[in-house]
Structure 1
Amino acid sequence: MSENQNQRRVKTEQSRKEGRFCRIIMAFFYAFLNCVRYYIDLLIDAAFGYYYDPTRQCIPKVKNKIILDSATTLATKIRKGELKSEEVVEAFIDRIKEVNGIINAVVDDRFEEALQEARKIDKDIETGNIIDADFQAKPFLGVPFTAKESTSVKGMSNTMGLKIRQGKKAKYDADIVENVKKSGAICIGVTNIPQMNYWQETGNPLFGITKNPYNTTRNVGGSSGGEASNLAACGTAISIGSDIGGSIRIPSFMCGVFGHKPTTGLISTKGLSFRDGKETQTMVTAGVMSRHAEDLAPLLKVLLGTNAAKLKLDTPVDLSSLRVLFVVDPQDPFVSPFRQEIKDSIWKIVSFMRDECNEPPTAVNFKQFRYTTKLWRFWMGREETDFKSDLTDQNGKIAVIPAILKHFLFMSSDYSTGTVYNLISDLFPKVDETWAKEETEDLKKALTDKLGDKGVLIFPSAPFTASYHHTALLRPYNFNLFSIFNVLKFPVTQVPLGLDSQGLPLGVQVVSAPHNDHLTIAVAKALEKQFGGYVPPFSAS
């Protein structure tokens, strides 16, 4: 061996050793940081628990068992004449009246109008004005639903949590609301949101905070938090939400229901907040929420309209042929350390899928999972909306620095702290465009190649179950576990997995490559059958 070759070999070996040493140091530092943060999180929970625990309320068990049925079952019973639509709608209205004073989920209702619509449906069925073909075209005929207050429902509150819009009513139905109404479903109310939908807890200066039916001292998530809370408490049969950074899946996780964020770009955004449906680049998509997995695909078809043909929602899925990937901890430095019960729920699914599938599940991780904070911020900056303008009801732009100072000096209550956090985030240095686009495309390609048309990814929803009110302000980046899939525009189903030792919902995200929504929904059904799915936040007996 020549002297030059020997020198190169020595340098290469030295570089390997230095790289190995650096990795060891970084692993040690990450473990140390996680250990410190783990106990800080416990301290936060203890402090907030000391304040909130004495205020806890319990919601009553249901009096009318029909509201526990799936929307699909209710529609079938109405079609067969086993139930009247009026009877069904009235049962859900009674339930809202019973629990809403506790959970504060529904902020405007149309109870009388809904009952009138239900009576008309019943009369049309009795007189034969509705025939089999009508039932096929209207899969949710006579079944009640609710929508977010930020989603336009004609004649209903549409303030988006802004004081400047107090008293405003929607002048038209959002496209998704119109589609759900065409399916025969009856809107009975609209539900609470974070201000402008931009926070991971549901509350605003107009309507206050929404509470978790499993434990009223806990967060319901956001932004579809009013929907999830009301749905879990059995105040509606089905819900429609929207998702730009986990807005369907965070509340679905915290409130123990199913939520599906479909492949992005297939559902009209007209009527979602200030959106007009003409956006050419957006991470936001409408989606569906339910207590029963069997309702997801039928309701998703309704929202998709003519685009339903672009998905394979009626294609049977052979679970044994699936390729299953999983992540226990993506090691995002901005996300809190994972509690053991969360990890155990992932391993429980992995064990189940190992028995069901021909190919054993494979653990994966990608470096980009650690960059979600920057990637999501970059793509949010590409949205065709103007947050500072929207906060003034599109009448000029908010003065950012004065608004921040007024809020923290208690000189103004116009904006929530979550809103102010978003204004502060806007002051951070911009993310490099070339880097963000390259990392996004690299992750999208790598994950798409791994998943193919027969793969699903089991991914954690959160480092722990629903935490106390307002603690998200101290842990603002835990939503990264959800928002990375908005960046990628992949379909995701949030699946409930029973309750933890505190009686709070556990859950997991099931992800697939774009246009393979049928795979995640099929896995959701299998997990529901195996592990029980939704568990009521009250005694069901």
Structure 2
Amino acid sequence: MSEVRYYLFKIFLIIRYYVDLLIDKLFGLYYDSKRQYIPRIKNPLLMESATNLAKKIRTRKLTSEDVVQAFIDRIKEVNPILNSLVDQRFEDALKEAREIDKDIATGHISDVDFLEKPFLGVPFTTKESTAATGLSWTLGLVKRRGRKATFDAECVASVKKAGGILLGVSNIPQLNMWQETSNPIYGLTKNPYNTTRNVGGSTGGETSLIAACGSPMGIGTDIGGSIRIPSFMCGVFGHKITNNLVNLKGLTFRSGEERDTMVCVGPLVKYSEDLLPFVRVLVGKNANQLRLDEPVQTKNIKVYFVTNPKDPFMSPFREEMHSTLKKAVKHLSELCDQKPEELIFEDLKYQSKLWQYWISLETTNFCNDINDRQGEVNSIHEIIKHFTFGGDFTTATMFNLINRYFKPVDSKWAIETTNNLKEALLSKLNENSVLLYPSAPFPASYHHTALLRPYNFDCFSIWNALRFPVTQVPMGLSQDGMPLGIQVVAAPYQDRLCFAIAKELENGFGGYVAPVIVSDK
């Protein structure tokens, strides 16, 4: 019987593979003629890392005003096409930059100040669901249209304290709960590599903007891949920090008192060198728990890898994704003293069910939250309304409502399986080892196709369920010119190992690749 099941499953995968190709073909017939192109990058300053910009401001090779103005100009070029940034504070940002320049010129800012403010004078952005004083905070909900935040989320306050200058807030899916960025208030965000393609979610506006060089760095949040999905689709670095190290106050409805939650804050950047200093700023007084100042000898790191979790809910992996992982393994095998080793964990095939169980334990009520916590919506009523006369919610939100009617995952099984999988992983991952893991079955596809392949984010969400830190690493472009990438996973509190491997892969494969020509003309 098991042999029959095996062959039936193989037939199912073959059928699904060609169904996926058919989906792409049909959506391509509609979207390909609608493709737009963003302007080339004329100012080389936009290609600098946040760390380099801070250094050049410190050494007076650049002024903060010049840097801030350059990114504002770039936003004005690309945003009408991409729809990444949804609210801005450009005039206030320029005013802050001028004040910093003045203080540097008059000597009111010393070397000590620069040490305490590692991103002094450098602009940054954050997602619209993260409170930023005076800026839009609708969460993509019609009932919150026009709502402005009256305070800064803790993570925003931390980056400002480190000298960062906030430019604005970026687009999100409704209540952050989808793998594509679109909502009824601000519309759809487009991918700078190909505007007919998905940017991911929920931090999709942020990654789209960073990839297009509209911002040097941004703050993301992650409950099921919300940093790493868009980082993968837009070809930038994104890191999910070890849980419970960053206060969550100001993230959607989060109070900051949450303890056992999958939600994490993390950085989004074009270059790996920005990851560690950005994380240090975000975790603040908890930085010592990550031992970020300890040097990492990459050659001594033991590298493990998983080629395919064999999750039946996901689309079959395409060859270019397997090839990307193989190239990373080969590259690291030449750098590390120990030969990389492939691992197989049978329980990874349950990654979809495990995340579904743990998301059900989050201290939120989705039906109440999408109604701005003014009482639970009637799911059946909203579903019928959406597919007949329309309503205030997206089709993705309808999917989440429908999903609530599926049979719940058995709690005893889920807890036992999670613990067993975590124990098996921790028997391999320690303070000197990492795991390379696939990101997705294929690169970013056409807008809205995620509705037909809703579980293709499973390779991201499993690490939320397990509470492991992960870095999404860009690995060049596909044959279609879309970003490729892999995930680098470490044991809790070993985030620095992710950064070290990310740096080596960046050195070997080029890391971030601009979506357009870079020219100083």
> What's the TM-score bracket when you normalise by the shorter of the two chains?
over 0.9
**Candidates 382, 385, 403, aligned match of 1:403:** 382
Instruction: Show the counterpart of 1:477.
Output: 455
**Candidates 234, 238, 250, aligned match of 2:213:** 234
Instruction: Show the counterpart of 1:8.
Output: none
Instruction: Show the counterpart of 1:452.
Output: 430
Letter in 1 for 2:59: K
Contact 1:242 1:285 in 2 (8 A): yes
- Aligned-partner Cα distance in 2 for 1:134–1:98: 34
- Aligned-partner Cα distance in 2 for 1:182–1:396: 37
Contact 1:281 1:384 in 2 (8 A): no
**Given the alignment of the two structures, is residue 373 of structure 1 paired with residue 373 of structure 2, yes or no?**
no
Contact 1:148 1:191 in 2 (8 A): yes
- Aligned-partner Cα distance in 2 for 1:374–1:530: 35
**Given the alignment of the two structures, is residue 324 of structure 1 paired with residue 300 of structure 2, yes or no?**
no
**Given the alignment of the two structures, is residue 494 of structure 1 paired with residue 472 of structure 2, yes or no?**
yes
- Aligned-partner Cα distance in 2 for 1:91–1:506: 28
With 46-55 and 425-434 compared, the bigger mean Cα shift is at: 425-434
Unaligned runs of 5+ in 1: 1-20
Deviation at 1:412, TM superposition (A): 2.5
Deviation at 1:26, TM superposition (A): 3.3
Instruction: Show the counterpart of 1:263.
Output: 242
Contact 1:243 1:284 in 2 (8 A): yes
Secondary structure of residue in 2 paired with 1:459: strand
Measured against aligned partners, the alpha-carbon deviations of 1:174-199 in whole angstroms (never above 9, x if no partner) come to 00000000000000010000000000
Deviation at 1:408, TM superposition (A): 1.3
Secondary structure of residue in 2 paired with 1:494: strand
Measured against aligned partners, the alpha-carbon deviations of 1:7-54 in whole angstroms (never above 9, x if no partner) come to xxxxxxxxxxxxxx62x3333222211110010000000000000000
Deviation at 1:126, TM superposition (A): 0.6
Instruction: Show the counterpart of 1:178.
Output: 157
Instruction: Show the counterpart of 1:54.
Output: 33
Equivalent residue runs for 1:289-368 within 5 Å: 289-368=268-347
**Given the alignment of the two structures, is residue 423 of structure 1 paired with residue 393 of structure 2, yes or no?**
no
**Given the alignment of the two structures, is residue 201 of structure 1 paired with residue 185 of structure 2, yes or no?**
no
**Candidates 261, 280, 286, aligned match of 1:282:** 261
Sequence identity (%): 56
- Aligned-partner Cα distance in 1 for 2:382–2:349: 32
**Given the alignment of the two structures, is residue 106 of structure 1 paired with residue 106 of structure 2, yes or no?**
no
Which structure has the bigger radius of gyration?
Answer: 1
Instruction: Show the counterpart of 1:86.
Output: 65
**Candidates 398, 414, 421, aligned match of 1:443:** 421
- Aligned-partner Cα distance in 1 for 2:162–2:46: 19
Letter in 2 for 1:248: I
Measured against aligned partners, the alpha-carbon deviations of 1:201-252 in whole angstroms (never above 9, x if no partner) come to 0000000000000000000000000000000000001010000000000000
**Given the alignment of the two structures, is residue 505 of structure 1 paired with residue 483 of structure 2, yes or no?**
yes
Contact 1:281 1:382 in 2 (8 A): no
**Candidates 98, 116, 127, aligned match of 1:137:** 116
Deviation at 1:385, TM superposition (A): 1.2
Secondary structure of residue in 2 paired with 1:356: coil
Secondary structure of residue in 1 paired with 2:61: coil
Measured against aligned partners, the alpha-carbon deviations of 1:399-420 in whole angstroms (never above 9, x if no partner) come to 11101111111x2330011111
| Number of equivalent positions | 519
Secondary structure of residue in 2 paired with 1:458: strand
- Aligned-partner Cα distance in 2 for 1:180–1:117: 14
Instruction: Show the counterpart of 2:76.
Output: 97
**Given the alignment of the two structures, is residue 75 of structure 1 paired with residue 43 of structure 2, yes or no?**
no
Q: Could you say what the CA RMSD is over the residues aligned between the two structures, in angstroms?
A: 0.8
Instruction: Show the counterpart of 2:228.
Output: 249
Give the ranges of 4+ consecutive aligned residues of structure 1 lying more than 6 Å apart after TM superposition.
none
Secondary structure of residue in 1 paired with 2:125: strand
Secondary structure of residue in 1 paired with 2:428: helix
- Aligned-partner Cα distance in 2 for 1:43–1:412: 28
**Candidates 526, 529, 535, aligned match of 2:504:** 526
**Given the alignment of the two structures, is residue 39 of structure 1 paired with residue 18 of structure 2, yes or no?**
yes
Deviation at 1:386, TM superposition (A): 1.3
Contact 1:205 1:413 in 2 (8 A): no
**Given the alignment of the two structures, is residue 540 of structure 1 paired with residue 518 of structure 2, yes or no?**
yes
- Aligned-partner Cα distance in 1 for 2:455–2:333: 32
**Candidates 517, 530, 537, aligned match of 2:495:** 517
- Aligned-partner Cα distance in 2 for 1:52–1:311: 45
- Aligned-partner Cα distance in 1 for 2:325–2:5: 25
Contact 1:245 1:482 in 2 (8 A): yes
With 449-458 and 486-495 compared, the bigger mean Cα shift is at: 449-458
Deviation at 1:280, TM superposition (A): 2.4
- Aligned-partner Cα distance in 2 for 1:427–1:286: 30
Instruction: Show the counterpart of 2:369.
Output: 390
- Aligned-partner Cα distance in 2 for 1:81–1:26: 67
Instruction: Show the counterpart of 1:9.
Output: none
User: What TM-score do the two structures reach when normalised by structure 2?
Assistant: 0.99
- Aligned-partner Cα distance in 1 for 2:301–2:76: 44
**Candidates 116, 121, 124, aligned match of 2:95:** 116
Contact 2:318 2:442 in 1 (8 A): yes
Deviation at 1:360, TM superposition (A): 1.1
Letter in 2 for 1:129: H
Deviation at 1:295, TM superposition (A): 0.3
Contact 2:244 2:259 in 1 (8 A): no
Contact 1:95 1:234 in 2 (8 A): yes
Unaligned runs of 5+ in 2: none
Instruction: Show the counterpart of 1:187.
Output: 166
- Aligned-partner Cα distance in 2 for 1:101–1:365: 46
Instruction: Show the counterpart of 1:168.
Output: 147
Measured against aligned partners, the alpha-carbon deviations of 1:249-285 in whole angstroms (never above 9, x if no partner) come to 0000000000000111111110000000111221001
- Aligned-partner Cα distance in 2 for 1:362–1:27: 26
- Aligned-partner Cα distance in 2 for 1:413–1:527: 46
Measured against aligned partners, the alpha-carbon deviations of 1:462-512 in whole angstroms (never above 9, x if no partner) come to 100000000000000000010000000100000000101000000000001
Deviation at 1:62, TM superposition (A): 1.1
Letter in 2 for 1:435: W
Contact 2:235 2:474 in 1 (8 A): yes
- Aligned-partner Cα distance in 2 for 1:451–1:275: 31
**Given the alignment of the two structures, is residue 154 of structure 1 paired with residue 133 of structure 2, yes or no?**
yes
Contact 2:189 2:205 in 1 (8 A): yes
- Aligned-partner Cα distance in 2 for 1:28–1:321: 42
User: What TM-score do the two structures reach when normalised by structure 1?
Assistant: 0.95
- Aligned-partner Cα distance in 1 for 2:85–2:458: 28
